[in-house]
Amino acid sequence: MFKRVFDIFCSLIGLLVLLPFLLIISILILSGSKGPVFYRQTRVGKSGIDFRLFKFRTMVSGADKQGLLTVGSRDGRITGIGYWLRKYKIDEIPQLINVLIGEMSIVGPRPEVRRYVDLYNKEQIQVLNVKPGISDWASIKFSNENELLSQAPDPERFYIETVMPQKLLLNMQYVKRHNLIIDLRIILSTLFKIARH
């Protein structure tokens, strides 16, 4: 219950305070390439229920038809403004909308697409026992995920066999032991990581 109150408070304050900034970003996205301001992708949430994730669009329209993974920060599908939005994680801010309406939390395992969730084993599927979040320990550890994938001969196989299991291990540890102090540590670590970019 307290976590939900915390989520509502943070997401509402965040959206209100950042509104002028978000409007400027929206204008830059629209002026930089054709397509909508937001990119909405179906992800798997708590209890395996699908929901549509909000993000600022950082790629050309229809980019997901060429693959679900982003390979390298200079993936040819990324727009000019999209590069900077991704670098500083600004593209993730609209997920405060998902938090406000109760589909996500500020902190929790990052939600995956169904294609990869279907590969989870019986232990890994436990990450769906909590709401997904905007940030988690795995996001911090793998903040350079795109660059790692760009160096792999087969990026998707590398993600499935190497990156995803490590991320899930961290997420399973969070599911077993999480509280407000841990959430605050993750939030502060995330902000510190972004500031260092």
Query: What pLDDT was estimated at residue 73?
Result: 54
Q: Which DSSP state fits 162?
A: I
pLDDT at 196: 79
| Distances from the Cα of 130 to the Cα of 41, 107, 184, angstroms | 20, 10, 17
For residue 186, pLDDT over 80 is answered with yes
Domain residues for the domain of 168 are: 2-196
- Residue 170 or 149, more confident: 170
Residue 60: pLDDT band by 50, 70, 90 thresholds? confident
Helices (H), the chain: 2-32, 80-87, 95-100, 114-117, 137-141, 145-150, 155-158, 164-176, 180-196
How many domains, in total, are found in the chain?
1
Residue 98 has pLDDT above 90, yes or no: yes
46: closest CA among 7, 118, 103, 8? 103
Query: Could you tell me whether strands 50-56 and 38-44 are parallel, antiparallel, or unpaired per DSSP bridges?
Result: antiparallel
pLDDT exceeds cutoff 90 at 144? no
